Amino acid sequence: MSIRSKPQAAQVLDESAPVIITGGAGFVGCNLAESFLREGRKVVVIDTLSRPGVEENLAWLREHHGELVHHLPADIREFEAICSVFQGAGAVFHLAAQTAVTTSIEDPLADFETNARGTVNVLEAVRAAGGRIPVIFASTNKVYGALDDLDMIELEDRYFPARPDIREYGIDEDRRLDFCTPYGCSKGVADQYVLDYAHSFDIPTAVLRMSCIYGPRQFGTEDQGWVAHFLIRALQGKPISIYGDGKQVRDILHVADAVAAYRAVLSSIATLNGETFNLGGGVRNAASLRMVLREISRITGQEPVVEWSDWRKGDQRYFVSDTRRLERKVGWTATIGWQDGLRELAAWLDEARGLRKLQRTERLTA
């Protein structure tokens, strides 16, 4: 098949076949896995459990769904270790990755091996399995670079774009790619390989370029999962590090909405084959770090302690996803407002991690 020819429609999805989720014990992965397990679907979780906290997510899945959960503790960097499990799969969600920009700068080779080579290994394992198994890939907004060319208007607590169309809708998928930092490069390479395998090898694929996802079962760190990290630090009464001026804006999306998007794309893969989508909370869920800190202070009843540091390399002053393509193609929309979602996450962290109890309800609106 010519690399420039149009991909054919995907095969009818076999809903009796297992779903494979690489990184399935991670935050997004375990929530996605649980959505299928609730329906009685078998799920294969490929995860080395190297990220702190994810073993709790796997235990949670097993506790609630027992033998429907199959865990393969293999590393996607090792093709032979993962190849055979893809035989007979109904769908593949590829979420396993090295996720921190800072880590990619410290060790670019390890970042490349996981994100770039690991993704090609997954694609080759699907190809070796025969059949046309759909592959949905978790990419990142970092493939668009730092967006330094966009003029920004600076307000007291946030930035917003000078261009009216971006202010109204956000960044769309036609934005030129500009891989920045080793992490952006490795994820960008993976992003493009996933799209190419639809054309070169007739494997039905789609790419979701994610903004900031948050919600229950997120064990955030300073380098990845910043929404949960901010809440954890605040609930523990520990200082929060802010790099830059805190006015940088992100569109944060609740994990339940993210799971709905992944599943909607899978359901429509026959018509979405080889396409990319930006996935985030959109303009309705855009908030600066300062705005999130202010909301956390309302939730906890006290002002978080903040330590300020210099900007980090490649940090975008503004990224808000234009999600109109996804909305138009599959009828998806974000349903959970970021303030409500933040309160839910704080309550879950308090219950799951034994953090300090939330303040009385009336203080939330004080």
Q: Positive or negative CA dihedral for 274, 321, 36, 271?
A: negative
DSSP-derived secondary structure letter, 321: B
Q: Closest Cα to residue 205, out of 281, 265, 268, 135?
A: 135
Half-sphere exposure for 65 (CA within 13 Å, toward CB): 24
- The answer to whether the CB of 138 falls within 8 A of the CB of 97 is yes
Sign of CA dihedral 173, 179, 181, 185: positive
Q: What does the radius of gyration of the chain's CA atoms come to, in whole angstroms?
A: 20
CA distances from 179 to 117, 147, 157, 187 (A): 17, 11, 28, 9
Report the C-alpha gap between 286 and 39 in whole angstroms.
33
Catalytic residue among 144, 159, 183, 318: 183
Q: Is 197 a catalytic residue?
A: no
* Residues classed as catalytic: 183
